[in-house]
Amino acid sequence: QVQVVESGGGLVQAGGSLRLSCAASGRPFSAYALGWFRQAPGKEREFVAGINWSGRSTYYADSVKGRFTISRDNAKNTMYLQMNSLKPEDTAVYHCATGRTYYGGNYNSMEDFGFWGQGTQVTVSS
């Protein structure tokens, strides 16, 4: 059974930084793309960033480009989202997800991902 668990959320002032982590188990971690999504109250879940199975290719939503960095450590079965220059509009529950395709597939939309974590809350105060 695939399990996905996020950690690292919290409360931070605008302009501050946080690093989220995502641990996945239940299938070969290094063989699948990974992604981060977020959902603010009253809004739909939206794509934040994605990374391919090797970590050599990434994709970002325009709203976070230049501020957030996605990375993965396949030896530790862990993915990260470094969030800098945080804004109040970044406040949301952040979810990690694993890709559907073994050593392939896209990683920039919800349809590309099959297993999801429960999420971690990020709150940015002004």
pLDDT, averaged per 10 consecutive residues of the chain (126 residues), comes to 95 98 92 96 96 96 98 96 98 96 90 94 97
As a whole number of angstroms, the distance between CA 89 and CA 38 comes to 11
Output the pLDDT for position 66: 98
Write down the pLDDT at residue 115: 94
Residue 35's closest CA among 82, 98, 117, 77?
Answer: 98
Contact criterion met (CB below 8 Å) for 40 and 48: no
Alpha-carbon distance of 41 to 32, in angstroms, equals: 29
79, 95 contact by CB (below 8 A): no
- Say what the pLDDT of residue 104 is: 86
Whether 55 and 75 have beta carbons less than 8 Å apart is answered as: no
- Spatial neighbors of 111 by CB under 8 A, at least 6 apart, are none
Token code pair at residue 61: 């939503």
In the prediction, which pLDDT does 42 show? 95
What pLDDT is stored for residue 117 in this prediction? Answer: 95
